[in-house]
Amino acid sequence: MLYQHSIRRNFLIQLIISLASLILIFSSILYFFIENSIYDNKHHELIQYAKSIASSNPIFKDDEHLNEDIFSLKVEILSSEEKLELSQFQTIINTHTYLTIVYPYNIQNNTYLKITEDISSTKYLLSKILNYIFIINIAGFILVLIYAIALSKMLVSPLKTINAKLSNMNEHLMKPIEIDKLPKEFSDLGITINHLISRIQNFVKYQKELFIGTAHELKTPLAVIKLKNQVTLIKKRSPEEYIDTLNVTNRTIDEMNIIVSNILNIGRQEGAQLDKPTEVDVIQILKAKADDFHLLAENEQKKLNISFEPNGFMAMMQVTLLNQIIQNFLQNAIKFTPKGKSIMLRSSQDEVGLLIEVIDEGCGVDDSVDLFAPFKRQGNKPGVGLGLFLAKSAADALGAKINIKNREDNIDGTVASLQLNSKLSCILPRHN
């Protein structure tokens, strides 16, 4: 069975290992500190006893209580030809532990005091202290572990809630996640998921309209071809009439080819959405597009004006998608702007990011119509009606907002705008 990665499991394993190591280290340090302190105190007491005996002074003064440990002392006088230093050592006899020190008594006679004390009770006390330390630490370890399990469960709970909500959704009943009910740490995740849900809803909506519109658009020319052929076959016609019928059929086939080409562009655009974003200067792309359409506008006796602010705007994005949006804006502006009129391509930086606008002097748009739905046409100009649909899909893929509205400066025309979001576009400092 393959190992399934689990953040919660790894968190608990790392916590157990680190907590057990901490408890072991802390308990060892604490126990050794207590043990050394007690033994140092015992060593100091034996030295004081030895000093009192060596100086023939009473071990206790009259106003002091007798220490019970004095009765467990065993004092001996040793003789040695070699000079001995002050030393101490422990010995274990049967079940008793003894602490012994050797202390100089008479240096001239090479005699020494050997004082031995039974410290079995002290050893037993240290053993109980060690047991208590481990019991307390184990209890603390269990409490911390229970808290960690509860904490990890609490942290995972919002994710399970989001997962449960998403798992019960389908493309027809998708609702945004309520951000206010999520912990603050998960609000960004909720916003991202809601953005994704919105894109899926738009995708499903427009795909349905696209399928319906495609079927309708293809059905009409096919019906025209069939009807024209049926009428032609009713009786014998002149060669000119047959040629006229074939010309009508060819024109209808050309219209169908345009529809199929636009549908293929949708597939190419979806592939472009998967391209790796690159660092680009959006202003330079706008300038290049302006150069491309400048001559086209002049050829149709129209003027293309430009105004770009700031001088540079670096971003991470798929250039193909941006080009598709700007190209559609300019093509529509040139198509619907009468001769002698002007078109404006401009950019400006605001609190959201970069705002790109194409302003024409055409006939305007019908605000009551969903302009971004497939096969929606405006005016009497030729076209399939997929341009703005493709532009909207490209903008959604870039995490940008697209808008088409009428001018508000008492001049007939349309304002097509693209709002690039600084956060979603990963704005980078411009290289000089």
CATH number of the domain to which 231 belongs: 1.10.287
Last residue of a domain, one of 221, 254, 271: 271
Note the pLDDT of residue 345: 92
Q: What pLDDT is stored for residue 427 in this prediction?
A: 47
Do 291 and 413 lie in a common domain? yes
Asked, for residue 184, whether it belongs to a domain, the answer is no
Cα-based angle 116, 29, 69 (whole degrees, multiple of 5):
20
On whether the CB atoms of residues 315 and 426 are closer than 8 A, the answer is yes
CA distance 417 to 358: 6
Are 266 and 284 found together in one domain? no
Residues 285 and 410 in one domain: yes
Please tell me the distance from the alpha carbon of residue 127 to that of residue 120, in angstroms, as a whole number: 10
Q: Is residue 57 domain-resident?
A: yes
Q: Does 248 reside within a domain?
A: yes
Domain range enclosing 282? 276-425
Question: Within 13 Å and on the Cβ side, how many CA atoms surround 175?
Answer: 8
pLDDT at position 63 is: 47
**CB of 286 closer than 8 Å to CB of 308:** yes
29 & 119 share domain: yes
Per-residue pLDDT, 132: 87
Q: Which residues of the chain have pLDDT under 70?
A: 1-6, 56-72, 81, 84, 168-174, 206-207, 209-218, 220, 258-259, 261-275, 373-386, 423-432
Residues 12 and 83 in one domain: yes
354 and 259 in a common domain:
no
Tokens encoding 321:
């998608």
pLDDT in tens, 324-342: 888 888 888 888 888 889 9
Q: Residue 172 carries which side chain, given as an amino acid letter? A: H
Q: Looking at the structure, do residues 113 and 250 belong to the same domain, yes or no?
A: no
Last residue of a domain, one of 122, 143, 164: 143
Distance between CA atoms of 423 and 69, rounded to whole angstroms?
78
| 267 & 301 share domain | no
**Does residue 222 fall inside a structural domain?**
yes
Q: Check whether residue 333 and residue 370 sit in a common domain.
A: yes
Q: Per this entry, what is the length of the chain?
A: 432
User: Do the domain assignments include residue 189?
Assistant: no
Neighbours of 59 (CB within 10 A): 15
**135 and 203 both lie in a single domain:** no
What single letter denotes the amino acid at residue 372?
Answer: F
Q: How high is the pLDDT of residue 1?
A: 36
Question: What residues pair up with 417 in beta bridges, in sequence order?
Answer: 357, 403
Please name every residue paired with 101 in a beta bridge, in sequence order, or none if there are none.
Answer: 88, 115
Residue 192 resides in a domain: no
Domain membership flag for residue 150: no
Residue 375 and residue 294 share a domain: yes
Last residue of a domain, one of 118, 143, 168: 143
CATH number at residue 410: 3.30.565.10
Task: Clarify whether residues 395 and 331 are in a common domain.
Answer: yes
HSE toward the beta carbon, residue 134, CA cutoff 13 A = 7
Question: Count of domains in the chain?
Answer: 3
How far, in whole angstroms, is CA 288 from its chain's centroid? 35
Task: Indicate whether 321 belongs to any domain.
Answer: yes
